[in-house]
Chain A
Amino acid sequence: MAVQGENRPAWIGLTRVVIQRVLSALLTLFLVSIVIFIAASLLPGDAAQEVLGQSATPQQVAALRHEMGLDQPAITRYVDWLVAMLSGDPGRSYIADMEVSDLIGERLRNSLTLAGVTALVSSVLALTIGIVSAINRGSKLDRTLNVVTLSLVAVPEFLIATIFVLIFSVKLVWLPSIAMVSPDASWGDMLRSMALPVLCLTFVVTAQMARLTRAAVADQLDRPYVEMARLKGVPFRRIILFHVLPNAAGPVLNAMALSLSYLMGGAIIIETIFSFPGLASLMVNAVTSRDMPLLQSCAMIFCTAYLVLILIADVVAILANPRLRS
């Protein structure tokens, strides 16, 4: 068929652009790893000295420096670290004296569950809020929602958490204020203990996501095709469902992926408050104890997740807008 003949080159061009974006993201990730490595190596003094304390003899420090590879030049250490990371062995923690991969393993799974549930809840909420306020643009409802989401974006996470703990754990005694997650807990227990962290993170993410969703839908409403459909006499509900929403899907998905990156910042505070055994609270512990191998690994995982979200947003935007394909 003729249509297929026309489609093929476009399809190839699209693949090329997407591959380009993926390669560019990989390059950025590589550069990020250099920045993280340099920042973590800038530790004033010496990691070996730090571990052994003030009373260590120079011989002990020298021996540990050798064992940790600190007597190697920085470039050698960086390459060793990068190769080890890529082969799934990010080294040993200074403090816990355990393999970093063992420390991270389960906590990464917990954090991903937390992020996944939050993403699900907040996208449903944000879509509803965003679409409702875009359709009612300029109305009292829209202006109120605008001020509410604008304010929520700027509220510190720990205030939201404090208020929810006061309401749900202290006053109503419905939910635990400490999120104990054990591997053998039932699904119900798990959900109950994750309820408050998810609720708090949802507040943080939804506000941002709803604002971006509203902007994306409002942008579509200004397009000539909407006016055309109106002049033809298409009912408003039909215009929204069959004309605007399919066209807004790309920008809206893009907005959602971007706002999910707010999860990272939020998770650091929220996981710590609720003692949630996740990756973000592990990273905070690593900073407190200046456990550099653990800190580097956690930072790299967060940066990778962030870049993947940005990449998804980018690719969705390309798929949705043919003009970006070339």
Chain B
Amino acid sequence: MIRSLASRAAALPLSGRIGLALVLFWLVIAVFGPLIAPYPVGRFVDEEVFSPATSQFWLGSDYLGRDVLSRLIWGARYTVLLALGAAVLAVFTGTSIALFAAIRGGVVDEVISRTMDTLISIPSKIFSLVLVAAFGSSLSLLMLIAAFTYIPGNYRIARALAVNLVGMDFVSVARARGEGAIHIAWREVLPNMIHPLMADMGLRFVFIVLLLSGLSFLGLGVQPPHADLGSLVRENISGLPQGASAILSPAIAIATLTVGANLFIDALKGKGDS
């Protein structure tokens, strides 16, 4: 299993392998971050603020003299885990509704699809801003809002895939056998659309990372004392004129995560086409 995954990874183009490496790197940081971080996340360790990188503080210190590397590792944990949770939730919910609509068909399908078409016509950042204004932005709410914002997009793709499959002979055979809707959705349709769905989940993950860090950057996302990578950029914005590492490193960290994921997904897709 592991060997076949490794050989598949080796078959990717260079950009895809770089992307995969970046994604794996950030996943490891997110999971094992607390063990790696050299200093406690909130401790003031440096007399100077916005000091440059030294052997003691690899990425310098922030606007209060805290260690940037430690804060970055913790911030990555929030960014990656929140976005991962939201992406899984969005794809799970969107695909479940899509399977339901595709198998039921008729008026049910029509009403659900029209609703989703309406929701998809609201730009995602605008929609999430309205939701944040209405509900606030605790960590769990942020995850729900991000998931909810991207359900319609996943629904559209999952429904298109499912409608194609539902029209195929093996589904008709299963229906004739007298199988229930859940069996058809779970055993007949879902396994045949799992690969494009996974690619879509990866894309949703990229969108959600960008959305959440954008919200945090505006001060509307993750609230202190918690801080994700977007919050780190925001709180150190006064270091911009000096080009402080405290503002550049979290911004670059987000970019390496999203660009990496994007390159990896694109490489997978390219392989699927040929």
CB–CB A156/B243 < 8 A: no
User: What CA separation (Å) do A132 and B203 show in the bound complex?
Assistant: 27
CB–CB A154/B124 < 8 A: no
CB–CB B15/A147 < 8 A: yes
The proximity string for A residues 139-163 relative to B, scoring 1 for CB distances below 8 Å and 0 otherwise, is 0000000010011011111110010
Is residue A190 within 8 Å, beta carbon to beta carbon, of the partner chain?
Answer: no
- Find A268's partner among B129, B240, B258 (CB 8 Å cutoff): B129
With A153-B262, A166-B240 known to touch, is A28 a contact of B133 (CB < 8 Å)? no
CB–CB A154/B126 < 8 A: no
Is residue A92 within 8 Å, beta carbon to beta carbon, of the partner chain?
Answer: no
CB–CB B123/A302 < 8 A: yes
Which residues in chain B, 225-274, are within 8 Å of chain A measured between CB atoms? 230, 233, 240-241, 243, 247-248, 251-252, 254-255, 258-259, 261-263, 266
Q: Please indicate the chain A residues that have their CB under 8 angstroms from the CB of B259 in the complex.
A: 150-151, 154-155
Output the nearest chain A residue to B125 by Cβ-Cβ distance: A265
CB–CB A269/B118 < 8 A: no
Is residue A324 within 8 Å, beta carbon to beta carbon, of the partner chain?
Answer: no
CB–CB B124/A265 < 8 A: yes
With A159-B254, A264-B123 known to touch, is A272 a contact of B218 (CB < 8 Å)? yes
CB–CB B214/A299 < 8 A: no
B270 smallest CB distance to A (angstroms): 10
CB–CB A287/B129 < 8 A: yes
Stretch binding the partner chain, chosen from A30-38, A71-79, A213-221: A30-38
Output the nearest chain A residue to B270 by Cβ-Cβ distance: A146
Q: Please indicate the chain B residues that have their CB under 8 angstroms from the CB of A290 in the complex.
A: 133
Is residue A120 within 8 Å, beta carbon to beta carbon, of the partner chain?
Answer: no
User: What CA separation (Å) do A1 and B114 show in the bound complex?
Assistant: 45
B184 smallest CB distance to A (angstroms): 31
Give residues in B with beta carbon < 8 Å to A. 15, 114, 117-119, 121-127, 129-136, 206, 210, 213-214, 217-220, 230, 233, 240-241, 243, 247-248, 251-252, 254-255, 258-259, 261-263, 266
Q: List 11 A-B contacts (CB under 8 A).
A: A40-B133, A43-B133, A44-B134, A156-B210, A170-B243, A264-B126, A265-B124, A283-B126, A302-B123, A302-B126, A306-B121
Task: List 13 other contacts, CB 8 Å, given A42-B134, A150-B263.
Answer: A43-B133, A154-B262, A156-B217, A157-B214, A158-B214, A165-B240, A166-B240, A269-B217, A284-B129, A284-B220, A295-B130, A299-B126, A302-B126
